[in-house]
Structure 1
């Protein structure tokens, strides 16, 4: 289920803390926004009106929190239908979720790692196909950070690639998560990145993290993007092409001007990669 990309450039995760700043801003250097639909679905009144004012002016993607695609619990079909209506109302261009689960006989309030097994691949892929059939659009799955791999029978890379293949869905390539996992689990981030299927990559996430120890990074989205993650993003563009890139900043959120600076750096890397690819084509 490969579809043309409906977004481009550098986007920003929209948090309520910056909603009024964004509404008041005349700076149009945000190419798209991304929101968790769960943070907006329940609300009406002024908050809903403010949100609709933005979705009428800007391109939006949704990055979900509670689909729980790997859960042993039944899929919440009513919730998926709510999402479909929400996407139509707000002209949502892309919908992504975490390749993880957050419920098992009740909500777990965290994103838990799915066991890297063939059985789990089949379970997740079947659920993804159901969601895609209801939504009538691709479901984009994000590679997640994890700190333990219970019952592991496959590598993380093998698991991701097999889910994408069997589900016929797309990948939200989170560059920070690759870097965090490479440090925590001792693998080569560049080799991991190279082995991902280019044709499945829909867009990128980039963020900062917290270094608790030399070999333990915590995926927080609460810090500036460090140099190794910037370098890995540049490498991702070289390997998989220049695609929409979303800057996630969930707390310790700086002024909007600082966020614009990070978006400008993303665009600069995108332009450099595009120029390099153009030169390589001319040289052939």
Structure 2
């Protein structure tokens, strides 16, 4: 297995629109890159060459989109095996997926929320364990942004904690998603973070969101990180310690120096903790 990412490290999402800028970025501008293997499996030609160039120079983290860990359909074993080969080929230090589902009798092209029930805990945990066996590595599951929850016997933090324990997997804590859900569903973001098992946090994500006129917050990954989310990341560091942290940006890309300033801000926050 590749060496783990250093706790004090700040990464940037590897998107095709940024390939050339990332290749020519100043040395040391970021500590690692993250990509979705689903978007790169089977890709050849110039894109594959550029990806290989980047992963030869920078540590890589994989962030899956399509496993549908919580879904009703059987796990896609071919995709899992292809993902394992991709992660091994590019020496990925970490692999994460979403605590959600995205397929039910066909792909739904969205990350849909799971009911916060004991039955859902057992269902998704069994599938995470199966996926880990095929991948030959641990998965860090990411808490997702939600705008409705289909059923709830427990609050979100309790649900996440139960899945982590039942599946014996790690957590990729998306701080922006906590902020968005807390605002939309009326719970306290800091209490949620404090309730999580810090020893299972493998890394953090941070991103921008949109504020709608009616007060709804939408997780978009298309804007700069807001001050309240930066403050929540700092609280997570203070509560659970520094972990590798990724800046996510999926569209509305500003010039690379603007993104790198946000990466530098992650580093400044991390520097305040041992």
Q: TM-score range by the shorter chain?
A: over 0.9
Does the CA contact (< 8 Å) of 1:5 and 1:202 recur in 2? no
Alpha-carbon shift at residue 154 of structure 1 (Å) = 1.6
2:117 is matched with 117
Alpha-carbon shift at residue 19 of structure 1 (Å) = 0.3
Alpha-carbon shift at residue 78 of structure 1 (Å) = 1.1
Q: Structure 2 CA distance, aligned partners of 1:54 and 1:125?
A: 34
2:187 is matched with 187
RMSD: 1.3
Matched ranges for 1:189-268 at <5 A: 189-213=189-213, 215-268=215-268
Q: Structure 2 CA distance, aligned partners of 1:16 and 1:94?
A: 20
User: TM-score under structure 1 normalisation?
Assistant: 0.93
User: TM-score under structure 2 normalisation?
Assistant: 0.97
**Which secondary structure does the structure 2 equivalent of 1:11 belong to?**
strand
| Structure 2 stretches lacking a partner, 5+ long | none
Deviation readout 1:220-252 (Å, 9 max, x if unpaired): 011111110000000000001011000001111
Does the CA contact (< 8 Å) of 2:5 and 2:244 recur in 1? no
Does the CA contact (< 8 Å) of 1:204 and 1:243 recur in 2? yes
Pair 1:164-2:174 in alignment: no
Deviation readout 1:63-97 (Å, 9 max, x if unpaired): 11101000000001111011111111110111100
Deviation readout 1:27-70 (Å, 9 max, x if unpaired): 32210000011111121111111101111110000111101000
1:279 is matched with none
| Structure 1 stretches lacking a partner, 5+ long | 275-284
Matched ranges for 1:7-156 at <5 A: 7-8=6-7, 9-156=9-156
